Structure 1
């Protein structure tokens, strides 16, 4: 009888330990929930779906990852701690030329942000310039290159170069993950190029021309309520809300933009 009781106790303990381990948060989950992220930034998770998006791309905390044009560091806040100690994060940013322009100011602002918290201590910044060949990471070193909501800034020629830089940085079999404001097929880039949206098929065509293969697409970041036809382009919507109080409730109800989420792969051979 004692043997049966002991066996039952051991079995219960083993089950409890297994259940606890099964629900232990991953490094990515811990990064997303981290106290270093402001409530304002966490409020964007419902629109940007960082965990689902990174899992779709195949993200692992042991990877070497390049984030192109991290801007204010919204995704950097997640990627840096999710890779810290186990992987590597390069932030490919516009260089600081010392000039008083948007690009240099953006670089200095990000550098200041990275200095505020130990979770960013392993991030390495590199330089890139759209339309100019750049080493965003050592050639053939990256498992994954990511860019979020940037293609519209680079225009077609810039996207071509960035995709070429990404191809060079990636290992064979490496992933290029793209999230971008999606221009409806009813609109043309020629007429709507300043709207902040970019065509999905053109994105696929440019990536394919750079040597990539489309591995998968996802509607994780889709928003059917977004018509992409707004007075101040995509910036009419949150979080920018460029019209201020004008029709604010309407645009908050729409939410952030409709976005394509595309996973490309550099062929293994």
Structure 2
């Protein structure tokens, strides 16, 4: 008996050609149920992103980081304090067809505040909102809300999100005395089984009970204890964003390093050679 295989092979060949053509045309074929490394890589290097943002991929490792946090195209994702939208530029198009991105940024109506820091963050938030509105086909329908603890802590309905992502925000929350409140708010809006992904500048560890932290750095064990006190469980940790060249003892802390280079041209070659900060990458789960 002879098996008829040619029609099947022809269909497979046609499907392969169509897939290849779609990818070459920039129309990525995604599977909403699984993290999609190819799509993440495509958006991480997209022409809409500035050269400066793309240049930071080697330090911030967005593809590996988002894969570690198991972000799927179908997910409801909350990004905390996106600032200039470095991760938003990747997450929004990745989620727009099958999921939803919500960004929680600073209050934009503080543009006239006397406090220069409040004006700075308000302007950054407004600029990102305007950029999202300027490229609707790329970003999609990004939902936006204000998050400014301790006054504004409401991030949505209970159990609304599959993922809450916080990139280099914990040290600011800790400095302002709102880290516990903020993590509690994150816990409230995560679905049971949902993941909190955190990336943060990591301080030097001196022993199991002590560390040294110059400006902008936080102790990894400290963040874990605070999160676990709320009810989170540490699911995993990664060295994706580690930088062994970072001694963490700079005069102005993490801000000496790129991209800030707080001391300007003074010792800039030294800090550029170090690169961006050493960072912890932590994955917490809200138990079912």
Same fold at TM > 0.5: yes
**Does the CA contact (< 8 Å) of 1:36 and 1:117 recur in 2?**
no
**Residues 97-140 of structure 1: CA distance to partner in whole angstroms, max 9, x if unpaired?**
34332332232222222222122231111111223462223221
SS at match of 2:202: strand
**Match of residue 62 from structure 2:** 50
SS in 2 for 1:65: strand
* Cα offset, 1:146, TM superposition: 0.2
Structure 1 residues 10, 190: closer, same or farther in 2, change over 3 A? Answer: closer
Worse overlay, 23-32 or 153-162: 23-32
Correspondences of 1:68-79 after superposition (within 5 Å): 68-79=80-91
Secondary structure at the residue paired with 2:224? Answer: helix
Task: Decide which of 8, 14, 32 is 2:12's aligned counterpart.
Answer: 14
Q: Which runs of 5+ in 2 are unaligned?
A: 29-37, 114-118
Displacement of 1:208 after TM fit? 0.5
Pick which of 237-246 and 100-109 moved more.
100-109
* Structure 1 stretch displaced more, 12-21 or 151-160: 12-21
- Among 219, 223, 239, the alignment partner of 2:239 is 219
Listed one character per residue, the Cα deviations across residues 175-202 of structure 1 (whole Å, up to 9, x for unaligned) are: 000000001113999974x610011001
Deviation at 1:90, TM superposition (A): 0.7
- Give the Å deviation of 1:60: 0.3
Superposition deviation, residue 209 in structure 1: 1.0
2:265 aligned with 1:245, yes or no?
A: yes
Bigger mean CA offset, 45-54 vs 110-119 = 110-119
Aligned residues: 264
Match of 2:121 among 73, 81, 103: 103
Distance 2:210 2:160 in 1: 34
Confirm or deny that 1:255 pairs with 2:267.
no
Partner residue, 2:178 = 158
Q: CA RMSD in A?
A: 2.7
Taking the aligned partners of 2:235 and 2:159, their CA distance within structure 1 comes to: 19
1:10 is displaced (CA, Å) by: 6.0
